[in-house]
Amino acid sequence: MSHNASDVQKLLSVVTVTAVYTDPANPFLVTKGLTASSPATGGVRHFQLPDPTTIPAGMSYEIKDSNGTAGAAGNKIVVMAPGSVQIDGSTDDDEITKAWGSKVFVSLGNHYLVRGDQRAVLGTPSGGGAYSNSFPGTEEQALPSGWSASRVDGPSDSWPADSSGWLVQDGTFFSGGPAGDTTSLGDHYDGSGTYVLPRGGSTTLTYAAGTLSSADVVVFSWMLDVVYSGWHNYVFQVNGVTVNTFADGDNGTWQAISYTVPSTGTYEFKWLWALDDSSNAKYANATLNNGCFLDEFKILDALSPTAAYNFDGVEEAPLPTGWSASRTGAWPADSSGWLHQEGIFYPASTSTSSLGDHFDGTGDLLPVGESSTLTYNAGTLTAGQVVEFQWMRSLREQDRHTLHFEVNGSSVSSVSGWSPGRGVWDPITYAIPTTGTYTLSWRWQLSTHYESTWTSTSYLNGCFIDEFKIMPVP
């Protein structure tokens, strides 16, 4: 069983199914975090996932072949979803066809994503839903639909004749496939010598993703494993623009990449491996993989937040459920704030250009050395969830004011000094490290310098938070 954010749920919620459930009209109804299928007799097994609209987004269900028989067509596991609910972008049933195999199905609110394995019937991104490809197969197998590859020889060297690569007819490798393949030398080293790779050459893997929607998320793992990585450039491009470069210092280790689609449109993704025109780029070594690798490629639907507050409302409106506020010291009598009974403001279209309640034209009113704290009791959050918000300071002597974001009482992010400027919104993200109970706080701290009390009609004289979200685990 893989170790991920839902392991606790799985370990505490397990059922072993010994019946076969051969009738697709009468499948076993999955309710536990881990369903182990271990029938006493053979036959195709049918399992049905819960309606995703009835369970929290991010809830996962693992279904596992526990007696090692699913590799035979007559003993495969068929995974169904109710009604027209999609699994990885398709209303077709999914299948587990590997002996001892398992798949994890993650609810995204109204459909399911297969995590960590390629579904039996792939849905296309342009058709809606999610897409997943872990590139299983055998060496020399054709690329999946929508994928292509090309390569260019160097000015002095050519790619070796046997550099077909794995699951590609050119020089970019994919990990996976037969047992031991990920630790083999691929096709870029056959033991004939150390000068094998073509200096100045390049190879490109391309995926035509079609139409993607704004906020869809592209994730994958990649690795460069060569002798002298400083003479190799491995990049990820979106519509011809490089957005990620594999770090030289990470040579030989898998790195996870996430890219959020900025706007709805047609997208093409490329992975380009370019070798420097230097003899150092030619080296191969029997202890390395001597190539570039890509795996666990997915396109995920834009995630819906499990909690979201834009704080739209009227001045003096009460805080939403789960939120509270506190402050220290003597704040001015009219410092009720917007949507808040304490000193931190929330902006709205009608109030972001006003002075709020911290300046009434009578003088410098902010309390030296004091603080105002906004708190949200988030409850139980799962490792991998992401907290997002934006914040802003608009103060006369801004270097005398610090805004802290605190998680369970410890500051994890802060903004102080003059950067990023008065009235400039600054986006912040925080990934939940471990599953547990979380309290999130924003603390506006004034320094003990007398200038911290100064206000001005030119500024908003306060701190602001908006667009707060807690996103589910991708």
Which residue, among 298, 21, 285, 12, has the nearest Cα to 135 in the 3D structure? Answer: 298
Which fold would CATH assign to domain 7-121?
Jelly Rolls (2.60.120)
Q: If 0-12 CB within 10 Å is exposed, 13-18 middle and 19+ buried, where does residue 245 land?
A: exposed
* Whether the Cβ atoms of residue 209 and residue 123 lie closer than 8 Å to each other: no
Strands 77-80, 45-48: pairing is: parallel
* Per-position pLDDT tens, the chain of length 474: 222 333 333 334 678 899 999 999 999 999 888 888 988 888 999 999 999 888 877 778 888 888 878 877 888 999 999 988 888 777 888 888 777 777 888 888 788 887 644 444 333 444 345 666 666 555 555 677 788 888 888 888 877 665 555 455 455 665 443 333 333 444 455 555 566 678 888 888 889 888 888 888 888 888 887 888 888 889 999 999 999 999 877 887 878 888 989 888 899 999 998 888 888 877 777 677 777 888 778 887 776 777 777 665 555 556 778 888 888 887 765 554 444 545 555 543 333 334 444 554 556 678 899 988 889 999 999 888 889 988 888 888 999 999 999 999 999 999 999 988 888 888 899 999 999 999 999 999 999 999 988 877 777 778 888 888 898 876
CB atoms within 10 A of CB 119: 26
Give CATH for domain 147-300. 2.60.120
Question: Cα 327 from chain centroid?
Answer: 36
307-471 belongs to which CATH class? mainly beta
